[in-house]
Amino acid sequence: MADDHFSFVIDATDGDARMGRIVTPHGNVPTPAFMPVGTRAAVKAMAPDELWSMGYRMVLANTYHLAVRPGSELVHQMGGIARFMGFRGAVLTDSGGFQAMSLARINSIGEDGIRFRSHLDGAPLTLTPESAIAIQQALGTDIMMALDECTPYPAEPERVRQSLELTARWAERCVRARTSPTQALFGIVQGGVYPELRRLSARQITSLPFDGYAAGGLSVGEPKPAMREMAALTASLLPADRPRYLMGVGTPQDLLAAIAMGFDMFDCVMPTRNARNGSAFTSEGRVSIKRAVHTRDERPLDPRCDCRCCTTFSRAYLRHLFMAGEILAARALTEHNLYFYGRLMREAQAAIASRAYKAFAGYAANLIETGETARNGKTD
């Protein structure tokens, strides 16, 4: 386990919801925390200081993609990933295990690990539990993720069982491979949509000395009721004194529900990817700025929001930018969506501290009706 460079402090609870702090070498991360996805050490359309000014203290990057380009050795020589990307806060790296599913056409999985052909030039790359840890240690990330296999949906129970058993064996190897005393390491619970397999995976992973635990293999195409049922079950099986991370989820309503389950950390590409496609999350529901109804709309994107986009631009101007293919459209909508998610986390923290989370979550979920489901939140 990591030494005193990493710790988790719970400052308040309300039911199963928790408000606290993850202490890292790059500062404290207030929880519940949403992490913007910066797959290649960059959150698309956003500068690191802009993320910081919005209150973000941790972002997510991806081991596979950074190993392919620019390479962990270069990042190490440049002082580590946070310094390389100019971000003042902490960085969590996904292990690359998700790419075993999302890039299935260019990989093969065996007991040793995952053999990729680079999506850039076809060059071979093998991620083993040992090399995944070595790469993340070279990157200098604050939180490393153990290598796992994420099964797609649907998958038969026996296929899921084989996968979670492989994930457990890889997890043991990751624990043995970790040599850095300052970087935290999280394990990942799999099990698909099968309760007994989730319980089995949770027993296996929580028996290992990880600094935190994640629920993986959700939001990969399964029905939303199944996703929430499995998320709630997994949260109940994870240690209360460690951070709980729900990977790749999701909509604002999903986050509110997951916080009530006891999760502390989240990531998803929805706020950034939706923005680039002209879709914004607002307190009045999801807004598609592409619609002709906004052509002469003088209103701000969200009248309840005080972000730079909403206090500067009209919907009419934002639609013009998007239809004209201007880069500013992606910049403005991304900034708004990330501001929206960040503010939602701060409001959740305050509600937990005042023991009013249930009322807050019910009100906010009814107000924020996106009408969308999410698939995957790891690569942007």
What does the pLDDT look like over 4-48, one tens digit per residue?
A: 789 999 999 999 999 999 999 999 999 999 999 999 999 999 999
Measured distance CA(50)–CA(45) in Å, rounded: 10
- pLDDT for residue 105: 81
The predicted-structure confidence for 303-347, as pLDDT tens digits, reads as follows 999 999 999 999 999 999 999 999 999 999 999 999 999 999 999
What is the domain partition of the chain in residue ranges? 7-268, 275-367
- pLDDT for residue 371: 35
Sign of the dihedral defined by the CA atoms of residues 44, 307, 83, 327, in that order: positive
- pLDDT for residue 3: 77
Please, which pLDDT band fits residue 369 given cuts at 50, 70 and 90?
low
Q: What number is the average pLDDT over the span 355-360?
A: 98
Does residue 369 or residue 31 have the better pLDDT? 31
Closest among 153, 164, 10, 135 to 76, alpha carbons compared? 135
Active-site residue identified among 94, 142, 264, 302: 94
Q: Is 94 an annotated catalytic residue?
A: yes
Does residue 119 or residue 183 have the better pLDDT? 183
Average predicted confidence (pLDDT) for the chain: 95
- pLDDT for residue 376: 47
CB 80 within 8 A of CB 66: no
Please, which pLDDT band fits residue 379 given cuts at 50, 70 and 90?
confident
Note if the bond before 154 is cis, omega within 30 degrees. yes
Residue 8: φ, ψ to 5°: -130, 125
List beta partners, residue 31.
20
Active-site residue identified among 142, 211, 254, 267: 267
Please, which pLDDT band fits residue 374 given cuts at 50, 70 and 90?
very low
Percent of the chain with pLDDT over 70: 97
Measured distance CA(14)–CA(354) in Å, rounded: 8
Q: Is 3 an annotated catalytic residue?
A: no
Q: What number is the average pLDDT over the span 284-296?
A: 96
Residue 209: φ, ψ to 5°: -80, 65
One of 3.20.20.100, 3.20.20.105, 3.40.50.300, 3.20.20.70 is the CATH number of 7-268, namely 3.20.20.105
Measured distance CA(141)–CA(3) in Å, rounded: 15
Per DSSP (E only), the strands in the chain are 7-14, 17-24, 27-31, 33-35, 58-62, 90-94, 107-109, 114-117, 124-127, 143-145, 184-189, 212-215, 244-246, 265-267, 279-282, 285-288
